[in-house]
Amino acid sequence: MKWELVIFDMDGTVLDTLADLLLAMNHALREHGLGERTLDQMRSYVGNGLYMMAARAVPAGTDEKTVDSVFRCFKAYYADHLNVQTRPYEGICALMEKLKAAGAHIGISSNKFDAGANMLAGTHFGSLVDITVGESDTVPKKPDPAGADLIRAHFGTSREKTVYVGDSGVDVETAKNAGLAFIGVSWGFRTSAQLAEAGAGTIADTPGRLEEMLLGSARPEA
C-alpha cells in the first residue's frame, strides 16, 4: 500500500448530507419569513462551513443581524436533525474496508462542527475511520490545513505517504495548503468540470475508480 494515510472530506465525499442540510436551512428560512431553497441551490452553497452556507442561502442584501439569526436557528435545528436522511455514498464503506485491509489509516477532515462530524463518522463508519476532525475553537475551517495537519500528526505520517480526497475547490486548496497529493471526486456537490477548474489534476467519477487510484500504482498530482 503506497499510502499510509487517506484523509477524506465528509460532506459530498463520503456522506451524502445534502437533504438534511436543506431540511435545516429551510426550517431556519421559514422561521424568518424568508423563501425556501431547492436541493440544487443548496448544493451550490456547501463547501465553506455552515455560516457561509447560511449567508449564501438568505436573499441578497440581507442584513448581517438577520444572517446571524438564520445561522443560529439553522445550526440549532441541524444539530438535532443531522442524521435523518444522511447516508454514505454507495461503495464508500467497501472502499474503506479495502483500504484498512491494505494497512492504511483513515481520517476525516470536515468543515462541519466537530461534535456533529464525529457523531456522523461514528454512526456510519464506526472503526473504519480512525480519527475525525471538524471545525472547532482550535481548528479553523478549511482551506486552513490545521485539520489535515492534526490528522497526519496523530499518526506521524509523512506528507509523501498521505493523500487527501475531496469534492470541492475548498478541498483542492486544503490539500495544497497542507502539501498533500489530492484526488477529487465528482459524485458529491461539484462536477468534474468544476473540480478541474478549481485546480484538481486527478478526479475519480466513481468510488470504484477511486479505489483503483488509491490501491493502484499511479500517483495523483499534488
pLDDT at 120 over 60: yes
How open is the CA angle 117-187-183, to the nearest 5 degrees?
Answer: 80
Contacts 24+ apart (CB under 8 A), 68-71: 69/32, 70/28, 70/29, 70/32, 70/34, 71/28
DSSP helix/strand/coil, 49:
coil
For the chain, domain boundaries: 5-16+86-215, 18-80
- Residue-wise pLDDT for 63-91, tens only, equals 999 999 999 999 999 999 999 999 999 99
Number of residues assigned to the chain: 222
Taking residues 126-132, what's their average pLDDT?
A: 98
- Residue-wise pLDDT for 46-56, tens only, equals 877 889 999 99
pLDDT at 34 over 60: yes
The CATH number of 5-16+86-215 is 3.40.50.1000
DSSP structural state of residue 140: P
Q: What is the pLDDT of residue 205?
A: 96
Q: What is the pLDDT of residue 50?
A: 86
- Residue-wise pLDDT for 156-201, tens only, equals 999 999 999 999 999 999 999 999 999 999 999 999 999 999 999 9
Residue type, 94: A
Q: Among the listed ranges 43-47, 136-140, 188-192, which one has the minimum average pLDDT value?
A: 43-47
Please tell me the CATH superfamily of domain 18-80, with its number.
Putative phosphatase; domain 2 (1.10.150.240)
Q: What is the pLDDT of residue 220?
A: 57
pLDDT at 217 over 70: no
**Mean pLDDT across the chain, nearest whole number?**
95
Kind plus residue range of the DSSP H or E element containing 19:
helix 18-31
